Amino acid sequence: ETGVTQSPTHLIKTRGQQVTLRCSSQSGHNTVSWYQQALGQGPQFIFQYYREEENGRGNFPPRFSGLQFPNYSSELNVNALELDDSALYLCASSLEQGWWETQYFGPGTRLLVL
Amino acid sequence: QQQVKQSPQSLIVQKGGISIINCAYENTAFDYFPWYQQFPGKGPALLIAIRPDVSEKKEGRFTISFNKSAKQFSLHIMDSQPGDSATYFCAASNEASGSRLTFGEGTQLTVNP
């Protein structure tokens, strides 16, 4: 086990709704990244937070937003859900933000948008 | 834009055989190439990683081969076991992108007993 937990494990929403996904990083890990993994695809980088500040963003619209808290927890918020948002959402934590840092992934939250 | 291309999409190997998964990248700025293993219901877990200053790295039954001029790298699993059955992802990053990973599409490996 990586020590990274995510909640909920599964979630069903309807188009247009808003959703909040949660992640608890390993204690002491200052960096958290969020990835979207569509069925049968590799994870796609959404954004990264370092010490509570956004520190890089992938090709995702502004309706994807996040927060990182001092207690090593973080949130991914998605507004105005679309059918294509259905995916497994993964968070990954690492000690610092360097490229050499090992990222520890949580088990993910599977979101289904109807 | 897919910057890391992975093949094959699926692979079936007999127990004791060699599994080979290939990746090719476009961005010459990439300088860190990890491989991740993902079991159903779990998140990806780092398996082995290489930097382009070496052409090969071996850890137990797992070996990465790296060809900088061809912009290709591959994962070799020797003596494949049924417990190796999982999805494997290659990835890449560089200093400028920090810990942001660009993943390949994944290879579903099945090792038959």
SS3 annotation, B26-87: CCCCCCEEEEEEECCCCCCEEEEEECCCCCEEEECCEEEEEECCCCEEEEEECCCCHHHCEE
Mean pLDDT over the full length of chain A? 93
CB contact under 8 A, B106 and A103: no
Mean pLDDT over the full length of chain B? 93
| Residue type present at position B39 | F
User: Between A and B, how many CB-CB pairs are < 8 A?
Assistant: 70
CB contact under 8 A, B94 and A99: yes
Interface test with A, best of B100, B102, B107, B108 (most A CBs within 10 A): B100
- At residue A96, does pLDDT exceed 90? no
- At residue B94, does pLDDT exceed 90? no
- Chain A residue closest to B104 (CA)? A42
CB contact under 8 A, B89 and A42: yes
In this prediction, residue B15 carries a pLDDT of: 97
In this prediction, residue A102 carries a pLDDT of: 86
In this prediction, residue B2 carries a pLDDT of: 58
- Chain A residue closest to B93 (CA)? A99
List the beta strands (DSSP E) in chain A: 5-7, 10-13, 19-24, 31-37, 44-50, 53-57, 64-68, 73-78, 87-94, 104-105, 109-113
Query: Dihedral (C-alpha) B61, B7, A33, B42: value to the nearest 10 degrees?
Result: -60
In this prediction, residue B111 carries a pLDDT of: 97
Q: Give A107's contacts in chain B (Cβ within 8 Å).
A: 41-43
